[in-house]
Chains A and B, each alone.
Chain A
Amino acid sequence: EAEVAQSPRYKITEKSQAVAFWCDPISGHATLYWYRQILGQGPELLVQFQDESVVDDSQLPKDRFSAERLKGVDSTLKIQPAELGDSAMYLCASSLAWTVQETQYFGPGTRLLVL
């Protein structure tokens, strides 16, 4: 069964450093999502792509976060500079389309710890 791939699985960094996370969605999935999950909470959407275009980044802290999906396939989420409050699980998900009924499939996540 096809899966969403993410790397790294774990990342420890010091505050003010730059970090980057990578996601490879299920083949053929046009829609890609990045979520942030704080311990004990549900995931919250950061950014949503349709192919290579950003369609929703209203919750992305744009002063420090950036995301790209240049060829409409894999995607990178970057934080620069990292802050202590960025410690969380970063989840990537993909879906075949953006319709309400469509299922989002999640990767294993990247757990970030900022010291």
Chain B
Amino acid sequence: GNSVTQMEGPVTLSEEAFLTINCTYTATGYPSLFWYVQYPGEGLQLLLKATKADDKGSNKGFEATYRKETTSFHLEKGSVQVSDSAVYFCALSDRGSGYSTLTFGKGTMLLVSP
């Protein structure tokens, strides 16, 4: 079956530090890959996505590249801000029993201090 593995948190960084959150996946088909962000007490917001191998998704300074050879979709940001503190979820969308299903990782909490 499909699965997503993320690095465990919390990840604690100082403002302006470089961020990497690792994500690897297992899928039976040709999935699309997503990063969602969840702020405290809120729902999930799409951060970026990539739909085929070697695609790079980017948004708000965050980037992730769909690497089929390593089955990875690592999230990076060059300079984090306090406002980036949240939980980040890696997810894949694959064809289930005729319809697409979204499988999430367990989430990685990011804490950025001033």
Contact = CB atoms under 8 A, between A and B. Distances in A.
B11 interface: no
Interface residues of B, number: 31
Given A40-B106, A106-B43, A107-B43, A45 B101 contact: yes
B42 interface: yes
Contacts of B81: none
Contacts, number: 66
A42 B34 contact: no
The interface size bin for chain A is 20 to 34
B102 A45 contact: yes
Contacts of A101: 32, 51, 93
The B contact surface, by secondary structure, is strand
B58 to A, nearest CB: 15
A91 to B, nearest CB: 6
Contacts of A99: 100
A100 interface: yes
Interface stretch (A11-19, A48-56, A62-70, A78-86): A48-56
A101 B92 CA distance: 10
B78 interface: no
A112 to B, nearest CB: 14
Given A45-B102, A55-B98, A98-B100, 6 more contacts: A42-B107, A48-B99, A99-B100, A104-B102, A106-B36, A107-B43
6 contacts: A33-B102, A40-B106, A42-B107, A56-B96, A103-B46, A106-B36
